[in-house]
């Protein structure tokens, strides 16, 4: 059986190093680290993109930024290439209101996973990516554009697979 191909959106790298002490943040950090443990154990074939690394570059904490990028190397996460088709599909997500216009990079995260035929995205971006509205609208656009449906999951949901 083939390993599921997963896309790690930027929040997965960020939450790996989450420092806030409130219980909800610690729980999300622990779930994130468990997903990375499953990657290390070979359960998933992991991917990300320059969209994620570019967002990492924007983190003001230089040490955290380097640690996040180190996860890509340490866990054998493959980088997907941006294409004109990714840009076109991301623009459709915005046009179809799956994603707010102010968040083109979030639309691109989903589009690059869909274009590359990945099975699902793992995200802690509950505002724009891992939310029912986005999931349903993306499903409709992908179906119409003849792309495989790409699941969008929170880390806790991935741990249940």
| Strand 120-122 to 5-8 pairing | parallel
pLDDT, tens digit, for every residue of 81-138? 999 999 999 999 999 999 999 999 999 999 999 999 999 999 999 998 999 999 999 9
How many domains is the chain built from?
Answer: 1
Which has the higher per-residue pLDDT, 128 or 38?
38
Question: What pLDDT sits at residue 149?
Answer: 86
C-alpha–C-alpha distance, residues 28 and 154, integer Å: 9
DSSP 45-91: EEEEEHHHHHHHHT-S-HHHHHHHHHHHHHTTPEEEPP-HHHHHHHH
CB atoms within 10 A of CB 4: 15
- Domain of residue 30 covers 5-159
Question: What pLDDT sits at residue 16?
Answer: 98
Which has the higher per-residue pLDDT, 141 or 160?
141
CATH of the domain at 50: 3.40.50.1010
C-alpha–C-alpha distance, residues 159 and 156, integer Å: 5
Is this model's pTM higher than 0.85 or not?
Answer: yes
Question: What pLDDT sits at residue 2?
Answer: 87
Question: What pLDDT sits at residue 29?
Answer: 97
């Amino acid at each position: 059986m083939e390993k599921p191909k997963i896309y790690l959106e930027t929040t997965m790298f960020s939450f790996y190093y989450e420092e806030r002490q409130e219980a909800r943040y610690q729980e999300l950090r622990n779930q994130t680290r468990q997903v990375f443990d499953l990657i290390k154990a070979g359960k998933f074939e992991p991917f990300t993109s320059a969209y994620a690394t570019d967002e990492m570059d924007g983190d003001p904490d230089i040490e955290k930024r380097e640690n996040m990028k180190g996860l890509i190397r340490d866990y054998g996460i493959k980088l997907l290439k941006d294409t004109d088709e990714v840009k076109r599909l991301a623009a459709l997500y915005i046009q179809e209101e799956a994603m707010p216009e102010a968040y083109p990079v979030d639309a691109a995260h989903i589009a690059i996973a869909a274009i590359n035929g990945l099975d699902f995205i793992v995200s802690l971006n509950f505002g724009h990516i891992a939310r029912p509205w986005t999931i349903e609208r993306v499903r409709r656009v992908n179906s119409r554009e003849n792309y495989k449906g790409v699941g969008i999951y929170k880390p806790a949901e991935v741990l249940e697979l």
